[in-house]
Amino acid sequence: MANEPKKKTSSTTKKTTTTKKKTTTGTTAKKQTTTKKVAPKKEEIEEVVKEEKVIKEEHKVTEPKLDYKMILIIVLALLIVVIGIAKIGGVFENKDYSKSYLLNNKVIANEIKKEDISSTLQNKETFIFITSLNQDEEYNEEEYNLEKDLKKVIKDNDLKDNFYIYLKDENTNLRELFGIEENTKTPTILYFKNGSLIDKVERLDEKMMEAGDFSKLLDMYELSKEE
């Protein structure tokens, strides 16, 4: 009878041990559940990839595309402007050696005729540009270019209405018409004042007169308006 209580104690101890084992097993299961990683879904991966592409495209430096039509239009417009300016400046002028450059380009208004010489010379200040054509009834290139150079002198000194051109030929009598020697070298410019011959452009060398020689004559008689 005295041994019975001891058996009960032993049974209780077994139960306690069993309970502890169960608790330990449950704790291990919990740990395994907590440390397990969940793999990302396919849709989530695709969404991330899309977002990365969008970010890259936003930061990507796009190279400007060449608009060839616009470039062509700009080039043509510039070409038209350049040609227009060149024509105004006389770069692309049509050289017609059969006509006076001064008259053809309206630098001066008058070609003096034989019958008008006497009345024309009565003006206060008159300049007569005597020149001639060659055997082909054309200007030589040198004489044509001389008229081009005279254009600036005439315009700068406001001589349009006082400057006349006379085309001489083989039958022209310079002494009779203008009171100068027959062997006067032409082209030349005669300066008349109130009907009297004051001076003429004359070179001492064999070269043809230049526009600068006419400028010197104007300076000599204080007729120059150039600054």
Most confident of 44-48, 132-136, 179-183: 179-183
Mean pLDDT of 36-57: 66
Mean pLDDT of the chain: 78
**DSSP-derived 3-state class of residue 157:** coil
CA distance 147 to 167: 13
Question: Residue 10: pLDDT above 50?
Answer: no
Phi, psi of 132 (to 5 degrees): -155, 165
For residues 194 and 219, the answer to whether their CB atoms sit within 8 Å is no
- Separation between Cα atoms, residue 140 and residue 137, nearest integer Å: 10
Task: Write the burial class of residue 213 (CB in 10 Å: 0-12 exposed, 13-18 middle, 19+ buried).
Answer: middle
Mean pLDDT value across residues 40-59:
67
The reported pLDDT for the residue numbered 110 is 83
- Least trusted range by pLDDT, from 44-53, 128-137, 169-178: 44-53
Bridge pairing between strands 125-132 and 163-168: parallel
What is the pLDDT at residue 221?
95
pLDDT at 203 over 70: yes
Check residue 165 and give its pLDDT. 94
Lookup result for tokens 């005439």 = 154
Q: What is the mean pLDDT of residues 30-43?
A: 55
Which residues on neighbouring strands pair with residue 193, listed in sequence order?
125, 196
Q: What is the pLDDT of residues 57-84, one digit of tens each?
A: 665 555 566 678 889 899 999 989 887 7
Query: CA-to-CA distance for 9 and 18, rounded, in angstroms?
Result: 15
**pLDDT exceeding 70 applies to what percent of the chain?**
68
Question: Residue 222 — very low, low, confident or very high, per pLDDT cuts 50/70/90?
Answer: very high
Q: Give the pLDDT band (50/70/90) at residue 24.
A: very low
pLDDT, residue 126, reads 94
**pLDDT tens track for 85-119:** 766 655 555 677 888 899 988 999 888 988 989 88
Measuring CA to CA, which residue among 79, 69, 197, 85 is closest to residue 130?
197
Amino acid, single-letter form, for residue 213: D
